[in-house]
Chains A and B, each alone.
Chain A
């Protein structure tokens, strides 16, 4: 009983923070340079905070309609998360046009690869589009997001990009995906033991809450919209100034 109250408390905290991040981005004008993030958080609030509870109330937790709706929206949110990470890559490569072109191609190939690997599960049984493909695709995409996010963090460190806001946003998304992946893996390792199930139910909302809190801090406390600047970019700017 008490664990249910805690999980519900976390869930309502998430809804409030999702709305809070949207409002904060709109009020501080941050949505202009964080369009991808703004759209993702709006989508998250719309689907997770409004649409899912509405469908749940209308059809009930055990209904097929809710199950379909839940997994479909999960795929949409996984795609949204992937696009947010792409937008973070774009911001990190703001001063490196050639690098961005290469990264863009790489991201596209990764996406195609994830789709192809997930489609392999469909070949085993064509009739189970939802149980085989949709669930596998969204889980693969979430794990890919975690790997890509880690690569992005390493890239930010390697290029010495002085953008604390971007760094915190990347850390926020990393906390969410790493926590979720760990909870899911623990669930599989313990073969769905009671405590693992409880931990899984608790960790998922806790990690989402953590991500949103880090984002609120990143948007609210870091200095306004300093353009991403790398050491290479600074050298180029210096060379231009000397040439002038």
Chain B
């Protein structure tokens, strides 16, 4: 019984560790260029400024504002992922996986805040996921022609 319980704890931990590693590998994907900047500008997303604040000062700006910013950017980007220049109007498997990963890291950020642990690494992970989503949207928009409109002009008119 003791061995079974030990194996259960270890293997459950390893399962989540490998799932996290898969998500991190997906996030490492190299894009041809930094597509996310145009999407950020067109939609006034705030996650790059949050990341800059975290990297420069090492502490989150204001906790309620940080949560609201990340949540709003997440909602905007997941909407764009599904609807902007997406012929199938649905998420791909890796997008679904990363959406789930975002939600889990978001919960871990809340837990860390309650337990007064360091929140920076979790918040940086969330901004990395958002950057990936913005890059995917930007890449899709970049491959589709919208007459004389640029990618950002198209997005502003959505």
Q: Point out residues on A near B: beta carbons under 8 Å.
A: 143, 146, 150, 153, 164, 167-168, 171-172, 174-175, 177-179, 181-182, 184-186, 188-189, 213-214, 217, 221
Query: When the two chains form the complex, which single residue of A168, A171, A181 contacts B11, counting CB atoms closer than 8 Å?
Result: A181
Distance between B96 CB and nearest chain A CB, rounded to angstroms: 11
Which residues of chain B (1-37) have a CB below 8 Å from chain A? Answer: 1, 4-5, 7-8, 11-12, 14-15, 17-19, 21-22, 25-26, 28-29
Question: Once the chains are docked, how many angstroms separate the CA of A143 from the CA of B93?
Answer: 29
Whether the pair B8, A182 counts as a contact (CB closer than 8 A) is yes
Could you tell me the dominant secondary structure of chain A's interface residues?
helix
Whether the pair A146, B11 counts as a contact (CB closer than 8 A) is yes
Whether the pair A189, B1 counts as a contact (CB closer than 8 A) is yes
Considering the complex, give the chain A residue whose CB is closest to the CB of B93.
A213
Query: When the two chains form the complex, which single residue of A150, A175, A217 contacts B19, counting CB atoms closer than 8 Å?
Result: A175
Distance between B27 CB and nearest chain A CB, rounded to angstroms: 11
A175-B25 contact, Cβ under 8 Å, with A182-B11, A185-B5, A185-B8: no
A189-B14 contact, Cβ under 8 Å, with A164-B28, A171-B21, A171-B25: no
Whether the pair B21, A185 counts as a contact (CB closer than 8 A) is no
Question: 1/0 per residue B19-58: CB within 8 Å of A?
Answer: 1011001101100000000000000000000000000000
Distance between B26 CB and nearest chain A CB, rounded to angstroms: 7
Which residues of chain B (124-156) have a CB below 8 Å from chain A? Answer: none
Could you tell me the dominant secondary structure of chain B's interface residues?
helix
10 further contact pairs, Cβ within 8 A, besides A175-B22, A185-B5? A168-B25, A178-B14, A181-B11, A182-B11, A182-B15, A186-B8, A188-B4, A217-B26, A217-B94, A221-B29
Q: Pick 21 A–B contacts, CB within 8 A, sort by A.
A: A143-B7, A150-B14, A153-B21, A164-B25, A167-B21, A174-B15, A174-B18, A174-B21, A175-B15, A175-B18, A175-B22, A178-B15, A181-B11, A182-B7, A185-B5, A185-B7, A188-B4, A189-B1, A189-B8, A217-B94, A221-B29
Distance between A124 CB and nearest chain B CB, rounded to angstroms: 18
A146-B4 contact, Cβ under 8 Å, with A171-B25, A217-B94: no
Whether the pair A214, B22 counts as a contact (CB closer than 8 A) is yes
